[in-house]
Amino acid sequence: MGGTVSKIIHFRDEEEFIDDMDSALERFSYLASKYGHNPVEGVLLWDYIGIKDDEGVKVFRVGEFPFVEGTLKLDLEKIRIIERYFDEMESRLDELTVEEINYFVEMLNDALGEERVYYDAYNLGLDRNTAYIILNIASVHYLETILEGRDKELFEEAIGALLKYL
């Protein structure tokens, strides 16, 4: 990951942060489709959990599982086991800690009999109102030097949203 910088960022309002990041990532994705460079290589919130299915790893937030369980390509028994653990976490979402999510993931993998669920936020030291972001500084510099007109405005808006938290 040459040219990248990783940073833990803090925010006060999770919904505002998510809206800002969605807006910035949408602009960067558009620019990347045209110019081949995306300054944001990843964003990980404190409650993101990865689940490996037959197609690869899919990422969910605690609380979102009921909306996306149809996207997992796993046998029904494994989906039901995962669903039970997610239901328990979701029932305690307001007071759930990173340590508890990590514990649930460890128990879930034990129940599945294999390591299929991943939770990196605990190892990264994240907590509520924090996120881990990976920025490609080389891409920032490249886009900054070549963009003009409306694309330059989109880039500056996206960078402004990031700078609000950096």
Q: What is the pTM of this model?
A: 0.85
DSSP count for the chain of H helices, then E strands: 7, 6
Residue 90 · residue 62 · CB < 8 Å? yes
Using alpha carbons, list the distances in angstroms from residue 47 to 65, 79, 80: 12, 19, 20
CA distance 41 to 5: 10
pLDDT mean over 15-42: 96
Q: What confidence tier does 63 reach under pLDDT thresholds 50, 70, 90?
A: confident
Residue 65 · residue 50 · CB < 8 Å? no
Sign of CA dihedral 25, 29, 31, 37: positive
> pLDDT tens digits, residue range 35-62?
999 999 999 999 999 999 999 999 989 9
> pLDDT tens digits, residue range 89-101?
999 989 999 999 9
Q: What confidence tier does 160 reach under pLDDT thresholds 50, 70, 90?
A: very high
Residue with tokens 């910035």: 24
